[in-house]
Copies of this chain bind each other. A is one copy, B any other.
């Protein structure tokens, strides 16, 4: 089996959400698996030199409209969150804690968090929202505390973001397959061609 596709996403990214609805199916068509990797694009511990889309773009009317239109184009359920640009570090920490133990459960958690944010307009920066989702996927209260606030969990996320940066990731969604980087769900057709016919 060929190498998995690394799928980097920030829980606050509408485009990451839309891509999350597509990438597994696309990969499966070409016999590939997908490794989901939650990152945090505005994390305090990131270097200042990092290449990033400025927040004023992400908060602009254009992006708001574009994300709605894109979701409609793909017939993906979508409602612009009231608190667009929520902090996603806690959600990402929990994701990795779960995913490191049970990848399928981690993906389930991610889907539920994304749905809570981009469909049900819940505030995924609120601990009670994350706790309810964690309970739904079977996490105990103790595990939730460890996953969301333990120093090891914080270090785990930092290492993930550092690794992503070292591999040249600077946006969400971001895909890497065989070292080739694809930024944005609008690059999925190019990624598909790569999977179908190899490098070009």
Contacts and interface: CB of A to CB of B under 8 A. Distances in A.
Given A51-B54, A54-B54, A57-B51, A183 B62 contact: yes
Size category, A interface: 20 to 34
A62 B170 contact: yes
A150 B88 CA distance: 53
Interface stretch (A128-136, A154-162, A184-192): A184-192
Number of identical monomers bound together in the oligomeric complex: 2
Q: What 5 A-B pairs are tightest by C-beta distance, nearest first?
A: A186-B186, A72-B200, A73-B190, A51-B57, A51-B56
A193 B183 CA distance: 23
Nearest to A68: B200
19 contacts: A51-B54, A51-B56, A51-B60, A52-B54, A53-B53, A57-B170, A61-B168, A62-B170, A65-B181, A66-B183, A69-B190, A69-B200, A70-B190, A72-B200, A73-B190, A73-B193, A184-B186, A186-B186, A186-B187
